[in-house]
Amino acid sequence: MRTKHLLAGNWKMNLGPTQARAYARQLKESITPLSKTDVWVAPASISASAVAEELKGTSLQVGAQNVHWAESGAFTGETSPLFLKDLGATFTLTGHSERRQFFGETSEATAQRTQAALKAGLEVIVCIGETESERVSGKTERVLEEQLQPVLAGLTAETATKVILAYEPVWAIGTGKVASLKDIQETHQHIQKVWASHNLPGSAVILYGGSVNPTNFAEILALKEVHGALVGGASIKLDQWLELIKIAEATAV
């Protein structure tokens, strides 16, 4: 079980190689020593090598926003998990709502990508979340179960320790809307029940994501069901990212 808070920054399609290297250098030079918080960043794939090179030797971990399920082959535009390992990545995201929404990725494909990443020795942040209409119509739990089932079914006691879940209600991503503390707590509790129903060891590490910022983060992180955050826009704004890290470090048990 992870004993530290985890803050993962998803830079999305922002910061090309030159900008990403400069930002990583600023982050490296500005961050204070951490003992209770792990900080991970997921730059665009084209920028990952520059960021990994810049952050080499620090405690900051570099990962990817997506990964393919094959080690190599005729898969134009995709990235092998072995390529990620080669450039120094330690983790990847899978199943992000934007991949599902804009590129038609299914939960089964998310499971395939997750398995390939785990086989390559990467940790994986598996993203799940419902749309606003699904929440309003009372389908949140069913949707999350459907998204999780293919992923969890493929895990073993060993590989489960390398998987982190990120609950990101789709309606809260980049909108400024944030799920209520009650909704976050109850949803994370349900996710734990789904994890347990697959006879996986321990409990799941669950991050919250969706318009997280320095104003709302402390109260979200105070929930015992929340182990950290997957952050989008605020992770590429240095002042906000440093403040989030500061909050995570100050509130860690």
Catalytic residue ranges: 96, 168
The backbone region for 30, taken as left when phi is positive above 0, alpha when psi lies in -120 to 50, beta otherwise, is alpha
Counting beta carbons within 10 angstroms of the beta carbon of residue 26, is it exposed (0 to 12), middle (13 to 18) or buried (19 or more)? Answer: middle
The token duo for 78 is 């995709």
Task: Residue 216: name the closest of 247, 239, 183 by CA.
Answer: 247
- What's the sign of the alpha-carbon dihedral 219, 224, 228, 232? negative
Task: Residue 151: name the closest of 209, 100, 89 by CA.
Answer: 100
Counting beta carbons within 10 angstroms of the beta carbon of residue 145, is it exposed (0 to 12), middle (13 to 18) or buried (19 or more)? Answer: middle
CA-CA distance, 194 to 173, in Å (whole number)?
23
Question: Residue 41 forms beta bridges with which residues?
Answer: 9, 62
The backbone region for 88, taken as left when phi is positive above 0, alpha when psi lies in -120 to 50, beta otherwise, is left
CA-CA distance, 117 to 140, in Å (whole number)?
27
C-beta neighbour count of 15 within 10 angstroms: 21
CA-CA distance, 111 to 246, in Å (whole number)?
33
